[in-house]
């Protein structure tokens, strides 16, 4: 507005107020120019108002054209202004680098980017390990199925497996027996190596295998069931394969459900039952006690194990007093109480050595 409200005279009723307003006698002169064709045109004043010649408070809307240097200066000053800093939170061009700790922010962005890349690489690495493990489990399952085709399993749990020893010997001469627990996935050939590491992660073909093979302790007399205690070892794979059923016998209900454990050799068939189950440290060498000075020492050894067993037969002590041989199955457990690296041992006894039921 060109005038302040106080400059407008008070107008009484019936008075239009026109006489109290001063008007300039003459309008500002307008410069005249003559075009090439002879016509005359008047230019607008460079400043001022066309409202009764009053130029008070006039502000031009459009300024004069500026030169290139002026535009550059305007842009540079604008970009460095506080307004630009506040409306450019990402600071893409780095104009904030000299203010508000810009260098620190650049470092923080760099660190964040590196951490993101590292996280992606770790995820890819973990995914690769998972795929590798799944492939190893798959290969193990394929190998197990191939070996299991060498034995015929009866639907009657009290009938021993019929094993094709010729094919097994052609595959590997270290074969000594076959173990089967009806009603469970335990159904495997048993090998014996030159030590207890040979078949730990090696297949009967000599290739790496996650679960290796089921094997008889290398210090046992082949084919087993000759020494006072014969021990076979098998992995408890995390996908439930191999000797997981052995580890599960630490549950009394499951333990009681196992009525038969078969161990078959080329010369004999041994029908057994679980006697007791206990835990041991992986470095507890008493687990591998295979021979004893006599029956009394043997029975004392078994009685000590019974005292620390987690599951057992009701007549376990009577069975111990009557037995001459035991057949033990050893596998891993992942129990917290064992530090995640314990051993579960199930001791079996031939049915023929069980005490007579009264």
Residues forming beta bridges with residue 252, ordered by sequence position: none
pLDDT tens sequence across 293-337: 999 999 999 999 999 999 999 999 999 999 999 999 999 999 999
Mean pLDDT confidence for 2-11: 47
- Confidence at 41, pLDDT banded by 50, 70, 90: low
Which pLDDT belongs to residue 51? 47
Q: Is 120 or 231 the better-scoring residue by pLDDT? A: 231
Q: Assess if residue 69 is contained within a domain.
A: no
Q: Assess if residue 337 is contained within a domain.
A: yes
- Confidence at 4, pLDDT banded by 50, 70, 90: very low
- Indicate whether 205 and 104 sit together in one domain: no
What backbone torsions phi and psi does residue 271 show, to the nearest 5 degrees? -100, 120
- Indicate whether 167 and 306 sit together in one domain: yes
pLDDT at residue 341 tops 80: yes
Pairing of strands 175-180, 261-264: antiparallel
Which pLDDT belongs to residue 29? 56
- Indicate whether 135 and 162 sit together in one domain: no
Q: Which domain holds residue 238?
A: 150-353
- Indicate whether 187 and 282 sit together in one domain: yes
pLDDT at residue 66 tops 90: no
Q: What's 178's domain CATH number?
A: 2.40.260.10
pLDDT tens sequence across 155-166: 999 999 999 999
Q: Is 4 or 340 the better-scoring residue by pLDDT? A: 340
Residues forming beta bridges with residue 166, ordered by sequence position: none
Q: Assess if residue 276 is contained within a domain.
A: yes
Q: Assess if residue 65 is contained within a domain.
A: no
Number of domains in the chain: 2
Q: Is 260 or 70 the better-scoring residue by pLDDT? A: 260
Which pLDDT belongs to residue 81? 52
- Indicate whether 182 and 225 sit together in one domain: yes
Which tokens sit at 227? 């020494």
- Indicate whether 339 and 244 sit together in one domain: yes
Which pLDDT belongs to residue 123? 82
- Indicate whether 123 and 177 sit together in one domain: no
Mean pLDDT confidence for 126-154: 76
Q: Is the pTM of this model over 0.75?
A: no
Cα–Cα dist 275/327, whole Å: 10
Pairing of strands 187-191, 214-216: parallel
Which pLDDT belongs to residue 3? 47
pLDDT tens sequence across 188-242: 999 999 999 999 999 999 998 888 999 999 999 999 999 999 999 999 887 778 9
Top-ranked range on mean pLDDT: pick from 9-23, 30-44, 53-67, 119-133? 119-133
- Indicate whether 154 and 216 sit together in one domain: yes
Burial of 157 (0-12, 13-18, 19+ CB in 10 A): middle
- Indicate whether 227 and 131 sit together in one domain: no
Is there a contact between 266 and 347 (Cβ–Cβ < 8 Å)?
A: no
- Indicate whether 257 and 171 sit together in one domain: yes
- Indicate whether 199 and 315 sit together in one domain: yes
Cα–Cα dist 268/154, whole Å: 17
């Amino acid at each position: 507005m060109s005038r302040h409200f106080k400059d407008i005279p008070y107008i009484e009723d019936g008075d239009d107020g026109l006489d109290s307003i001063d008007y300039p006698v003459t309008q500002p002169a307008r410069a005249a120019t003559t075009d090439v064709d002879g016509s005359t045109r008047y230019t607008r004043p460079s400043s001022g108002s066309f409202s009764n010649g009053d130029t008070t408070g006039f502000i031009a809307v459009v300024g004069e054209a500026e030169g290139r240097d002026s535009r550059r200066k305007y842009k540079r000053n604008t970009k460095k202004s506080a307004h630009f800093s506040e409306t450019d939170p990402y600071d893409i061009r780095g104009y904030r680098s000299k203010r508000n700790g810009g260098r620190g922010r650049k470092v923080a962005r760099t660190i964040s980017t590196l951490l993101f890349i590292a996280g992606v690489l770790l995820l890819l690495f973990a995914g690769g390990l998972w795929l590798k493990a799944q492939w190893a489990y798959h290969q193990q399952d394929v190998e197990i199925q191939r070996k299991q085709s060498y034995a015929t399993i009866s639907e009657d749990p009290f009938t021993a497996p019929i094993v094709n020893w010729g094919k097994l010997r052609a595959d590997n001469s270290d074969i000594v027996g076959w173990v089967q627990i009806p009603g469970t996935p335990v159904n495997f050939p048993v090998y014996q190596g030159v030590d207890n590491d040979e078949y730990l992660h090696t297949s009967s073909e000599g290739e790496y295998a996650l679960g290796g093979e089921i094997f008889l302790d290398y210090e046992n007399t082949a084919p087993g069931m000759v020494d006072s205690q014969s021990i076979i070892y098998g992995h408890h794979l995390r996908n439930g394969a191999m000797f997981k059923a052995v580890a599960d016998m630490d549950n009394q209900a499951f333990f009681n459900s196992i009525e038969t454990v078969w161990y078959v050799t080329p010369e004999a068939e041994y029908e057994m039952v679980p006697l007791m189950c206990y835990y041991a440290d992986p470095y507890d060498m008493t687990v591998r006690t295979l021979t004893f000075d006599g029956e009394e020492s043997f029975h004392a050894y078994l009685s000590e194990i019974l005292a620390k067993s987690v599951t057992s037969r009701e007549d376990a002590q009577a069975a111990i007093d009557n037995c001459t041989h035991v057949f033990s199955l050893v596998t891993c457990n992942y129990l917290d109480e064992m530090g995640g690296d314990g051993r579960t041992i199930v001791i079996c006894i031939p049915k023929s050595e069980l005490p007579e039921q009264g």
